[in-house]
Chains A and B, each alone.
Chain A
Amino acid sequence: MSSRPVIELDNFQIDLGGRPILKRLTCALHGRCIGLLGPNGAGKSTLINALLGFHAPSFGTARLFGRDIRAEINVLRHRIGYMPESDSFIAEMTGVQFVRYMAELAGLPARQALERAHEAFFYVGLGEARYRRVGTYSLGMKQMAKLAQAIAHGPRLLFLDEPTNGLDPPGRNRMLRLIREIRDTEGMHIVLSSHLLRDVEECCDEVFILKDGRVAGQTNLEAERAANRKFLELEVSGQASSLPEAFQSLGCECALFGNTRLKLVLPDAVEIRELYAIAAQRGTQIRKMTYRRDSLEDIFLTAMEANGGEAGSLHRAGSPRSNGGRNGRL
C-alpha cells in the first residue's frame, strides 16, 4: 500500500432531498483495491457518486490522490474511470464507437481513442463483438462494455459499482480476473462496490464498510491475511486418518473433518514442506492448501453487529455462509 491515501474523507457529509445520506465520514483509504461494503441503502453508490463530483458535499471535504474533489474535480476526472451499476450506454452506437466516444470525451485525441477502444474491447474479451450495436449486447456483454469504457482512457483510479451484477459464473470469474489484473498494474487503484463479499474478498486489500451512511468498519485485508497466515486448511487424497497425529507430533494443532479435510495451526518453527513430507511418508497427497483467515464475512458481520444492526442483503456468492469462527478458529 502506498503512503499517500487514495481517498481521504474528513467529516464528509452528503444530503440529498433534504436527508443526510452520508453522515460525517472520516477515513483514509490506501489500498490498491478498496472494497466498499454495506447493506442496501448504506450509501455506497452515493459515496462513489459524491467522489465523482455528482453530489456536492454539504459538509466536510473529500480528497482523491490528495486533491480536493470540490476544487479540482476536472483535473481528477482525467484520472478516473467509472463503471456504473445500472445500464449506461449509447444504444445506437457500435461497441467500439461507444468506447472511442467516451475516451475522446475523457480527453484522448481521436486516433488514440480509437486505438485504445479496440484494445479495451479485446482486453475485456469482446473483441469479436466490437462492431455490434451496444443495444444488442447481452447483459454480460454490456457489463464488459461498461468496463471497457471505464478503462479505455487509462485512468489511475477506477470506480466499479457492482461490476459482477448479472454475470454468469464464467463471466463473473472473467470480470474478477480483469479487476485483479488492473489492480496489479503499477500506480493503479480500484474502488469496488459490491454486495458480494466473495468478490470483494477475491480482489480487495482493504475494505470500507458503511451502514446507514456512517462508517461501520475499515479493515486492511492484507494485514489480516498476513496476521492469520499460519491457519491452514488442507484437502488430501488417500487415507488421512493418521495425519492429525503426525502433524501434532510436529507441534501443530490439527483437526480432521470427514476423511479428507484437515484444519491446522502451524507453529512458527514448522515449515509447510514438512507437512508435504509427512503426507508423502503416509502415502497421501495434499491436493489443496488454503490459508485460513478471518473471513471477510466475519469482519463484515462484526462491523454490522458493532453498529447495532443486521447485515442486510449481502451475499456470499457461490458458498454457504462461513462456518468458521473468528480469527481462524479451527
Chain B
Amino acid sequence: MAVYKRAYKPYTGSLTPTWSRFLILPRYAFRTVFRSKILTGYFVLCFVPFIVSLAIIYLYNNPIARTLIGMREDQNFPFSIGGRFFYYLLRIQAGMAFLLNIWVGPTLVSPDLVNNALPLYLSRPFSRTEYVIGKMSVLFMLLGGITLIPDLLLYGIQATLAGGGWFMSHLDLAGAIVASSLIWIALMSLLSLAMSAWVKWRIAASGLLFGFFVVTAGFGAIFNEVVRTYWGKVLNIDYVFSVIWQDLFNVSTVTGISRRWVGTFREQDVPVGIAWLVLAALCSAALFMLNKRLRAREVVRG
C-alpha cells in the first residue's frame, strides 16, 4: 500500500513477539506524560531525596569530607546508614511518588474509556491482561524510577563505600527495598487504574484517589474514637504500609512497637499479617473493578 499507489495491500511482513506488545503502551504513554513541563519538573524534583541521600552516604563514608563541612574527625555521624535510613528515605520518596501517581495514573485509562478506545485495543491480538500490565508498567517505570531504582543505587553505593562487612550485615536490606517498593507501586498503580476506570473522568479520578487515602484514614480515626478501638487504623493505608515496611526493614519507629505476626502483636498495633490482608483486599478490590470496567463492550443487564 505505497502512498503513490493508493491501493489496499494486506501486510505480509514480520510481526513483533506477542509477549513484548504490552511495552508499546508505556512507549506512547511517556510521550503524553512528559509533554507537561510541570510534571516533568516535578518528576525531576522527586530525585531530590536521592541526591540528598547520596550526599549523606558520601559524607558518612568519607571522614575528610566530614571535616570539610566542619564536623570533627572523631565526631560520630548523627545516624547510621541501615534499615532505618532506607525506611525513612522510602517514606519520603513514596509520599512524592504518591502525588505523581495521582497525577499520571488517571491519564492512562480514563481517556481510553471516555473515547471508547477499548474495542480498538481488544479487537487486536492484545488481551485485557496485557492492557492492564501495559498501563501498570507506565506507573511501575515512573514510580520505580523515583523509589526502587534510586534506593537500590544508594544501597549499592553504600555497599561499595562501606565495604564487604556492611554489605554482608545488610544483605536483607536489598530485599526489603525491593519488596517494599514493589508492593507499594503495585497497590498504587492498581488503585489508580481501577479508580480512573470506574469514574472515567480524569480529574475526578485524581480527586477520588487522593480522597480515598485521606477520607479512609479520617474515617478510621473517627471509628477508633467512637468505638474505642484501634482497628480503625486498618483503614489508614499509609499506616498499613508503615506497618509492613517496618517489618520488612526490621525497624520500629519512635512510637511503634516491634510487630510480628498475629499471635504476638501488642495493643495499639495492627499486626503485620492483618496489614498484609488489608493490602491483599485492596488489590483484589482494584482487580475486581478493573475486570468489571475494562471490557470491549459493556453489557446492560435486564
Instruction: Indicate with 1 or 0, residue by residue over B1-17, a CB within 8 angstroms of chain A CB atoms.
Output: 11100111111111110
User: Which residues of chain B are within 8 angstroms of A149 by Cβ–Cβ distance?
Assistant: 120
User: Which residues of chain B are within 8 angstroms of A258 by Cβ–Cβ distance?
Assistant: none
Task: Tell me whether A92 and B124 are in contact (CB under 8 A).
Answer: no
> Could you tell me the dominant secondary structure of chain B's interface residues?
loop
Which of A17, A92, A112, A181 meets B32, CB within 8 Å? A92
Interface size class of B (residues with CB under 8 A): 35 or more
What is the CB-to-nearest-CB distance from A174 to chain B, in angstroms, rounded to a whole number? 12
Given contacts A87-B115, A151-B8, A182-B8, contact A104 B123 (CB under 8 A): no
Task: Tell me whether B297 and A154 are in contact (CB under 8 A).
Answer: no
User: Which residues of chain B are within 8 angstroms of A106 by Cβ–Cβ distance?
Assistant: 124-126
Q: How far is the CA of A181 from the CA of B1 in the complex (A)?
A: 12
Q: Is B145 an interface residue (CB 8 A)?
A: no
Closest to A125 in B: B6
Given contacts A101-B24, A109-B16, A122-B3, contact A87 B11 (CB under 8 A): no
What is the CB-to-nearest-CB distance from B116 to chain A, in angstroms, rounded to a whole number? 5
Instruction: Indicate with 1 or 0, residue by residue over A110-154, a CB within 8 angstroms of chain B CB atoms.
Output: 001000101110110001000000000000000000000101011
Task: Tell me whether B111 and A154 are in contact (CB under 8 A).
Answer: no
Interface size class of A (residues with CB under 8 A): 35 or more
Closest to B12 in A: A154
A-facing residues in B253-268 (Cβ within 8 Å): none
Q: Is A244 an interface residue (CB 8 A)?
A: no
What is the CB-to-nearest-CB distance from B23 to chain A, in angstroms, rounded to a whole number? 10
Given contacts A88-B116, A88-B119, contact A49 B8 (CB under 8 A): no
Task: Tell me whether B14 and A109 are in contact (CB under 8 A).
Answer: yes
User: Which residues of chain B are within 8 angstroms of A18 by Cβ–Cβ distance?
Assistant: 301-302
Max chain B Cβ within 10 angstroms of own Cβ: one of A86, A107, A123: A107
User: Which residues of chain A are within 8 angstroms of B127 by Cβ–Cβ distance?
Assistant: 74
What is the CB-to-nearest-CB distance from B119 to chain A, in angstroms, rounded to a whole number? 5
User: Which residues of chain B are within 8 angstroms of A120 by Cβ–Cβ distance?
Assistant: 1
Q: Is B121 an interface residue (CB 8 A)?
A: yes
Given contacts A54-B296, A82-B120, A185-B10, contact A107 B301 (CB under 8 A): no
What is the CB-to-nearest-CB distance from B130 to chain A, in angstroms, rounded to a whole number? 9
Task: Tell me whether B16 and A107 are in contact (CB under 8 A).
Answer: yes
Given contacts A49-B119, A90-B115, A156-B10, 10 further A-B contacts (CB under 8 A): A54-B297, A74-B125, A87-B116, A92-B32, A92-B111, A106-B126, A107-B18, A108-B13, A122-B6, A182-B8
For the complex of A and B, the 10 pairs showing the least CB-CB separation, nearest first, are A154-B11, A107-B15, A82-B123, A17-B301, A54-B296, A154-B10, A77-B125, A119-B1, A106-B124, A182-B8
